[in-house]
Amino acid sequence: MGLPADGTSELLIDGKLVPGSAGTFPTVNPATEEVLGVAADADAADMGGAIEAARRAFDDTSWSTDHAFRVRCIRQLRDALREHIEELRELTIAEVGAPLMLTAGAQLEGPVDDLAFSADTAENFAWNHDLADAAPQGIPTRRTVAREAVGVVGAITPWNFPHQINFAKLGPALAAGNTVVLKPAPDTPWCAAAVGRIALEHTDIPPGVLNIVTSSDHGVGALLAQDPRVDMVSFTGSTATGRAVMIDGAATIKKVFLELGGKSAFLVLDDADLGMAASISAFTAAMHAGQGCAITTRLVVPRARYDEAVEAAAATMGGIRAGDPTHKRTVCGPVISARQRDRIQGYLDLALDEGGRFACGGGRPADREAGFFIEPTVIAGLTNESRVAREEIFGPVLVVLAHDGDDDAVRIANDSPYGLSGTVYSGSDDRAQTVARRLRTGTVNVNGGVWYSADAPFGGYKQSGVGREMGVAGFEEYLETKLIATAIN
């Protein structure tokens, strides 16, 4: 169930593994640039077939109403994934370039275990509840609020944390009673295809309920937002693409969930342990080569201690080498592709043009002849008005900015089109909490607190998205609300 023995993967459509009508496309190990094998390349007709299968499974079966059966199927999937966890780990490291250490958490094992939360939520959810009897317009009426599945869900996911994001959609969407068509990123097709094969061979999920369509063509994924047979699109990716998904979905007034970009700020107040905070910020920014939408990539520190903060951040980040993700101590592996590496390098070049300087890093590692690696980089000397400080880079790049007190720190943090995450460090929890509540972001880490958890809602303000993923709030994104009013005789 890990790396395909024959070097190829297939589509899962209507309970069958089938080839792609457009042939195959390669999937590449970003640490070595070697081709791992090929994935089935779907075309529009394949996607249409998957949508039709999902529509039929929702409309013509009891999947949406048999809560106990769905709970059992999701628990089967979780157990089967756990049984194949080592093969999935090998696949994830090879295809994603994810450091081995991260596969014990958010890159693999954590998301697999989190499927239990979706099953438990569905099992214990109040699918119906009564309002107090009333007599609107003088008619005695008993009123019941029913929660029901949305219908067919199109899930479009990126490559940076494929298992976490795939399961954060599949778990609640399926548990809520929806049928799903998953379109994963072209960079990581095997991670999704492996889940499809496991689901087919080891669970009782009926045909058409779960469909997985890999394709090299982003236009194939766009069909999910355009097709009237799809009731909801759940998208994670760039803000630019999310905007296009929203526009496409508007034609059919489709329900749209968006989890988009970020340029989150790490605020260090003047009573904090500056060296420790700067080091934590640098370590976080380098993890998984900075390929995380919620990573804090702006370190905002007291102006009077700016140089000290830059030095501390550079000492930590300069000591983190971009290295082989199979090694157990690697923190920063490769970025996903040559295209992404070149994009990051473009921002590094821009930083110099904008008047910044590198406190460490700044380009490709000299000791890496192959692989899509970028040195962990600390940039100093810029203001929050620079493009490098405002735009999402998605690489191991930390920009250090100066603030002139708590109000100014909050102003800088909020002066962004994004609002996904943030961090506040202070010697006083109360002071840090006060600042945290002023940030226009969906999540905030205060003095080292951890916001990532299966039962905790995740999402952003402003151009970082619409809606919440994970937690009960994430489960309810996949539900409609129906009021049933019955006259009392």
Q: Which residues are catalytic?
A: 259
Q: Which residues contact 192 (CB under 8 A, 6 or more apart)?
A: 157, 162, 166, 182, 184, 212, 214
| Residues 334 and 94 sit within 8 Å (Cβ to Cβ) | no
Which ranges of 287-382 does DSSP label H, i.e. alpha helix? 306-318, 338-353
CA distance linking residue 444 with residue 338, whole number of Å: 32
| Residues 487 and 141 sit within 8 Å (Cβ to Cβ) | yes
In whole angstroms, how large is the CA radius of gyration of the chain?
23
Strand-pairing partners, residue 259, are: 236, 465
Tokens of 382: 């810029």
Q: What is the 3-state secondary structure (H, E, C) of 210-274?
A: EEECCCCCHHHHHHHHHCCCCCEEEEECCHHHHHHHHHHHHCCCCEEEEECCCCEEEEECCCCCH
CA distance linking residue 362 with residue 379, whole number of Å: 8
Question: What does 18-55 look like in DSSP terms, one character per residue?
Answer: E-BTTBEEEEE-TTT--EEEEEE---HHHHHHHHHHHH
Q: Which residues contact 47 (CB under 8 A, 6 or more apart)?
A: 181, 183, 213, 215, 220, 223, 224
Q: Would you give the distance in Å from CA 335 to the centre of its chain? A: 16
- Look at residue 89 and give its three-state secondary structure: helix
Task: Look at residues 12, 27, 454 and name the one whose alpha carbon lies nearest to residue 198.
Answer: 12
Task: Look at residues 176, 245, 184, 248 and name the one whose alpha carbon lies nearest to residue 466.
Answer: 245
CA distance linking residue 384 with residue 284, whole number of Å: 20
| Residues 42 and 214 sit within 8 Å (Cβ to Cβ) | yes
CA distance linking residue 66 with residue 287, whole number of Å: 42
- Look at residue 480 and give its three-state secondary structure: strand
CA distance linking residue 216 with residue 107, whole number of Å: 23
Burial per residue of 284-297, b for 16 or more beta-carbon CB atoms within 10 angstroms, e otherwise: bbbbbbbbbbbbbb
